[in-house]
């Protein structure tokens, strides 16, 4: 049996490094089978939570671990769980957000395809903690294979009594639905995801009310990323203190970084938070340097929605605080590397096309603004830029930022603002000379 | 009737599984798309009857989601990722290569009805770029040689 996706991981390192846990078995084709998963201690955390901990104790342990949302927003997972109103008599729902579509990000797919029971176990523990009896995993529609693997794993989990009625005789019932999307980036935003799961168009909702109070079917709902949930069994098994010993003082644990673009070894790498960005790009065990021995031009550290770094900025640690301090964000952990032959206007043209296409159209600044930005950026790229276009771009960006219901507007703007700031001369050259400083022609 | 009895039954099952039937719209659209290869008003009407949700609400949701073609496409729908990570590793030249090999432009279908070529947004396969999805399968780390053999294989299977 071979893997569906040929993506490179650092599973070998994870197998011998006690600190790494998410990727330990992702190169073993048997790991998706429940017998294999169980033989390696799988579902013991679920057993421990259900039989020896109260829901509040589970929430406390996850809170203490300090794990933060790995989908992009970085909100503390345990704190989110504690927002579910205890007195509410409505059903509660847990949704695993597997609508992975932030450009550059391809980590949740690996977890689903190669260690699906780890995801289900984390979902079960989270469900128990918030008092949910029906949990969902919302998988992006294109991940048909991942959904198939998850469904098969779910069926096995029912048969082995990890899901279903009266689990382990404790009187706790838990059902699961694997739900697939229809190819809309916006549905990774939690309120749009809720609408989509309800059968509506995937448009975001105004908050408050927050999903923890009024989410799916207007009931308390927790939406967590795949990687966040896959971490939960490890926290329960080994304790919050162990998890806090990983990473930096403030950013605890490990993170999977999806490394793509102009590196010699693109792949998914689990490292401790605080790992040096330079090492991720240049170390032979990870990115192994820039393709074709070119010079580095820029790096997006946290998915296409986060601001660029220039080469002089890459001596930074990959953790929430360090990246924010350096002017960008950890985001989803998608590191995209650009070498010197990349025209920045060309790169931004690709990105703005994406955001314009994916804007749900609900908020005027995002709907109209992304369309205007695309029009202006396209004309600059085509050598038809006009004096004042850079200022227009800046002005439109400022008028989108912070003025939309969901973060898609901000996400569209942040890489553009930083690209204009860092490479303003190049934009000006493009307008004045009606051509690229360097033509982005990449053979495949 | 366009949808098979088996697929109508699967849609009804889906509708019964969710706390609210309307949640079965996306599963039903997915089932229909996998059977037919595209969606249209006749299909929305059949889904409506199957899951008991008004046709308008089915169409309203369906038209939001770009993954489902709304008109017939070739037997093989080639969807090349043109987002940033794939572009850095040659998505533009991959599209040009496919246009040349298939003798069509992006957005067109070959005259034998076998291939439709489009480009799409990020498919979450960024560390195995460049890549494309053909119908429901991913093809990753593409090279001119691998593209040639994929097309050859599909032609042989057709």
Q: For residue range B28-61, list pLDDT tens digits in order.
A: 999 999 999 999 999 999 999 999 999 999 999 9
Query: Which of B121, B124, B137 lies at the smallest CB-CB distance from A106?
Result: B124
Q: Could B19 and A134 be called an inter-chain contact, meaning their C-beta atoms sit closer than 8 Å?
A: yes
Low-confidence ranges of chain A (pLDDT < 70): 1-2
All structural domains of chain A: 31-244 (3.40.50.11540), 254-339 (3.10.20.600), 344-433 (1.20.1440.230)
Considering the domain architecture, whether residues B85 and B153 belong to the same structural domain is answered as: yes
What is the value of pTM for the model shown?
Answer: 0.97
Say whether residue B17 is in contact with chain A using an 8 A CB cutoff: yes
pLDDT tens column, B72-121: 999 999 999 999 999 999 999 999 999 999 999 999 999 999 999 999 99
B66, closest residue in chain A (CA to CA): A183
- Give me the mean pLDDT over the B12-16 stretch: 97
Structural domain boundaries enclosing B16: 5-62
Q: Residue A131 burial (CB < 10 Å; 0-12/13-18/19+)?
A: middle
Considering the domain architecture, whether residues B91 and B146 belong to the same structural domain is answered as: yes
- Whole-Å CA distances, A101 to A108, A149, A355, B67, B126: 10, 19, 12, 13, 10
Task: Report the alpha-carbon distance of residue B119 to residue B91 in Å, rounded.
Answer: 9
In a domain, B88, yes or no: yes
Considering the domain architecture, whether residues B132 and B91 belong to the same structural domain is answered as: yes
Considering the domain architecture, whether residues B54 and B86 belong to the same structural domain is answered as: no
The Cα of A52 is separated from the nearest Cα of chain B by a number of Å equal to 30
Query: Which of B27, B127, B141 lies at the smallest CB-CB distance from A106?
Result: B127
Contact list in B for residue A305 (CB cut-off 8 A) is none
Task: Report the alpha-carbon distance of residue A52 to residue A4 in Å, rounded.
Answer: 38
Contact list in B for residue A196 (CB cut-off 8 A) is 26
User: Which of B127, B131, B138 to probe by mutation at the A interface, max A CB count within 10 Å?
Assistant: B127
Q: What is the pLDDT of residue A2?
A: 57
A139, containing H or E segment: strand A134-139
Q: Give the pairing of strands A267-272 and A254-261.
A: antiparallel
Contact list in B for residue A259 (CB cut-off 8 A) is 127
Contact list in A for residue B89 (CB cut-off 8 A) is 261-262, 442, 444
In a domain, B67, yes or no: no
Considering the domain architecture, whether residues B100 and B136 belong to the same structural domain is answered as: yes
Query: Which of A183, A259, A347 lies at the smallest CB-CB distance from B66?
Result: A183
Average pLDDT, chain B: 97
What crossing angle do the helices spanning A344-358 and A408-422 adopt, rounded to 10°? 170
Considering the domain architecture, whether residues B49 and B88 belong to the same structural domain is answered as: no
Q: What percent of chain B has pLDDT over 90?
A: 99
Task: Report the alpha-carbon distance of residue A69 to residue A78 in Å, rounded.
Answer: 10
Considering the domain architecture, whether residues B81 and B28 belong to the same structural domain is answered as: no
- Residue A430 backbone phi and psi in degrees, to 5: -60, -40
In a domain, B69, yes or no: no
Q: Could B123 and A142 be called an inter-chain contact, meaning their C-beta atoms sit closer than 8 Å?
A: yes
In a domain, B91, yes or no: yes
Residue A274 makes CB contacts below 8 A (sequence gap 6+) with A247, A248, A251, A317, A318, A319, A322
In a domain, B17, yes or no: yes
ipTM: 0.98
What crossing angle do the helices spanning A116-130 and A144-159 adopt, rounded to 10°? 60
In a domain, B101, yes or no: yes
Considering the domain architecture, whether residues B83 and B122 belong to the same structural domain is answered as: yes
CATH number for the domain that contains residue B97:
3.40.30.10
Considering the domain architecture, whether residues B45 and B94 belong to the same structural domain is answered as: no
Q: Could A109 and B125 be called an inter-chain contact, meaning their C-beta atoms sit closer than 8 Å?
A: yes
Query: Which of A103, A108, A443 lies at the smallest CB-CB distance from B84?
Result: A103
Task: Report the alpha-carbon distance of residue B138 to residue B79 in Å, rounded.
Answer: 9
Query: Which of B53, B67, B138 lies at the smallest CB-CB distance from A141?
Result: B67
Considering the domain architecture, whether residues B104 and B153 belong to the same structural domain is answered as: yes
pLDDT tens column, A114-171: 999 999 999 999 999 999 999 999 999 999 999 999 999 999 999 999 999 999 999 9
In a domain, B115, yes or no: yes
Place of tokens 């059968």: A199
Please identify, among B62, B91, B110, the residue that sits at the C-terminal boundary of a domain: B62
Contacts A–B by Cβ distance under 8 A: 182
What crossing angle do the helices spanning B5-17 and B41-51 adopt, rounded to 10°? 50
Considering the domain architecture, whether residues B134 and B81 belong to the same structural domain is answered as: yes
Among B106, B46, B38, which Cα is nearest to B72's? Answer: B38
Maximal CA-CA distance, chain A: 74
- Count how many domains chain B has: 2
Considering the domain architecture, whether residues B146 and B120 belong to the same structural domain is answered as: yes
The Cα of A338 is separated from the nearest Cα of chain B by a number of Å equal to 7
In a domain, B127, yes or no: yes
Q: Residue A402 burial (CB < 10 Å; 0-12/13-18/19+)?
A: exposed
């Amino acid at each position: 049996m071979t893997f569906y996706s040929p993506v490179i991981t650092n599973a070998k390192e994870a197998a011998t490094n006690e600190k790494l846990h998410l990727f330990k078995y992702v190169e073993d084709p048997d790991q998706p089978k429940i017998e294999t998963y169980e033989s390696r201690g799988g579902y013991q955390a679920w057993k421990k939570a259900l039989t020896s901990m109260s829901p509040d104790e589970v929430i406390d342990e996850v809170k203490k671990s300090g794990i933060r949302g790995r989908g992009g927003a970085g909100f503390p997972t345990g704190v989110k769980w504690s927002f579910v109103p205890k007195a509410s008599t409505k059903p509660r729902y847990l949704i695993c957000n597997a609508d992975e579509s932030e450009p550059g990000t391809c980590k949740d797919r690996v977890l689903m395809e190669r260690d699906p029971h780890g995801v289900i176990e984390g979902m079960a523990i989270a469900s128990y903690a918030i008092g949910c009896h029906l949990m969902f995993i919302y998988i992006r529609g294109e991940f048909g294979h991942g959904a198939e693997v998850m469904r098969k794993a779910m069926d096995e989990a029912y048969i082995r009594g990890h899901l279903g009625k009266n689990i382990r005789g404790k009187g706790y019932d838990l059902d699961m639905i694997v739900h697939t999307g229809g190819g809309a980036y916006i549905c990774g935003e939690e309120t749009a995801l809720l609408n989509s799961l309800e059968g509506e168009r995937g448009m975001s909702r105004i908050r408050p009310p927050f999903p923890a109070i009024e989410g799916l079917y207007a009931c308390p709902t927790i939406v967590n990323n795949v990687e966040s949930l896959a971490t939960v069994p490890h926290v329960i098994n080994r304790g919050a203190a162990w998890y806090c010993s990983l990473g930096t003082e403030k950013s605890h644990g490990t993170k999977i970084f999806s490394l793509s673009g102009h590196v010699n070894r693109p792949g998914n790498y689990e490292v401790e938070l605080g790992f040096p960005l330079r090492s991720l790009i240049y170390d032979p065990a990870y990115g192994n340097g820039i393709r074709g021995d070119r010079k580095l031009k820029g790096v997006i550290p946290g998915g296409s929605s986060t601001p660029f770094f220039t080469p002089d900025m890459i001596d930074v640690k990959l953790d929430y605080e360090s990246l924010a301090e350096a002017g960008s964000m950890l985001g989803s952990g998608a590191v995209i590397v650009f070498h010197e032959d990349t025209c920045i206007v060309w790169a931004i043209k690709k990105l703005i096309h994406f955001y314009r296409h994916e804007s749900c159209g609900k908020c005027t600044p995002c709907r109209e603004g992304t369309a205007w930005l695309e029009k202006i950026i396209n004309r600059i790229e085509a050598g038809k830029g006009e004096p004042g276009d850079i200022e227009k771009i800046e002005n439109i960006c400022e008028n989108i930022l912070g003025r939309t219901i969901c973060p898609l507007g901000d996400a569209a703007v942040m890489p553009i603002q930083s690209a204009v700031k860092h490479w303003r001369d190049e934009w000006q050259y493009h307008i004045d000379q009606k051509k690229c400083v360097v033509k982005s022609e990449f053979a495949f | 009737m366009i949808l098979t009895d088996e697929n109508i039954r699967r849609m009804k099952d889906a509708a019964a599984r969710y706390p609210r039937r309307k949640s079965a719209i996306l599963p039903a659209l997915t089932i229909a798309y996998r059977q037919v290869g595209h969606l249209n008003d006749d299909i929305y009407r059949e889904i409506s009857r199957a899951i008991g949700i008004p046709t308008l609400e089915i169409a309203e949701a369906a038209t939001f989601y770009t993954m489902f073609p709304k008109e017939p496409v070739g037997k093989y729908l080639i969807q090349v990722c043109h987002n940033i990570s794939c572009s850095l590793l040659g998505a533009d030249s991959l599209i040009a290569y496919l246009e040349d090999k298939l003798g069509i432009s992006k957005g067109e279908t070959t005259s034998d009805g076998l291939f439709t070529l489009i480009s799409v947004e990020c498919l979450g396969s960024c560390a195995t770029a460049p890549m494309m999805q053909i119908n429901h399968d991913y093809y990753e780390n593409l090279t001119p040689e691998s593209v040639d053999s994929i097309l050859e294989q599909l032609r042989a299977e057709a």
